[in-house]
Amino acid sequence: MSMRHSVAPDPGEASRAAFADDVAHALTQNPRQLPCRYLYDELGSLLFEAICRLPWYRVARTEQSLLHTHADAIFSRLQCVSTVVELGPGSGEKLMTLLAAGPDRDVTVHLVDVSPAALDGAANALAALPSLTVVAHEATYEAGLSAIARSHHATGQALVVFLGSNIGNFDPTGTDALLRSIHATLGRGGALLLGTDLVKPEAELLLAYDDPLGVTAAFNLNLLVRVNRELGGDFDVSQFAHRAVWNAPASRMEMHLVSRSRQRVRVRESRIDLTFDAGESIWTESSYKYRVGDLELMLGRTGFQVTGQWQEDGFALTLAEAG
Secondary structure (DSSP) of 157-189 = EEEEEE-TTGGGGS-HHHHHHHHHHHHHHH-TT
In the complex, minimum distance from the CB of residue 164 to ligand AVJ, in angstroms, rounded to a whole number: 5
CA distances from 59 to 97, 202, 297 (A): 15, 15, 22
Give the residue with the Cβ less far from ligand AVJ, 97 or 216: 216
Give the residue with the Cβ less far from ligand AVJ, 20 or 194: 194
d(CA 242, CA 221): 7
d(CA 136, CA 206): 34
Give the residue with the Cβ less far from ligand AVJ, 33 or 169: 169
In the complex, minimum distance from the CB of residue 228 to ligand AVJ, in angstroms, rounded to a whole number: 21
In the complex, minimum distance from the CB of residue 257 to ligand AVJ, in angstroms, rounded to a whole number: 13
In the complex, minimum distance from the CB of residue 208 to ligand AVJ, in angstroms, rounded to a whole number: 7
d(CA 205, CA 58): 10
Give the residue with the Cβ less far from ligand AVJ, 16 or 170: 170
Residue count of the chain: 323
Give the residue with the Cβ less far from ligand AVJ, 106 or 313: 313
d(CA 117, CA 49): 12
3-state DSSP assignment of residue 79: coil
Query: Distance of alpha carbon 17 from its chain centroid, rounded?
Result: 22
Give the residue with the Cβ less far from ligand AVJ, 185 or 220: 220
d(CA 117, CA 113): 9
| Site of interaction with ligand AVJ (CB under 6 A) | 51, 59, 164-166, 168-169, 209, 216, 285, 287
Question: Which residue lies nearest ligand AVJ, judged by its C-beta?
Answer: 287
Helices vs. strands in the chain: H and E counts, helices first:
10, 13
In the complex, minimum distance from the CB of residue 321 to ligand AVJ, in angstroms, rounded to a whole number: 24
In the complex, minimum distance from the CB of residue 195 to ligand AVJ, in angstroms, rounded to a whole number: 9
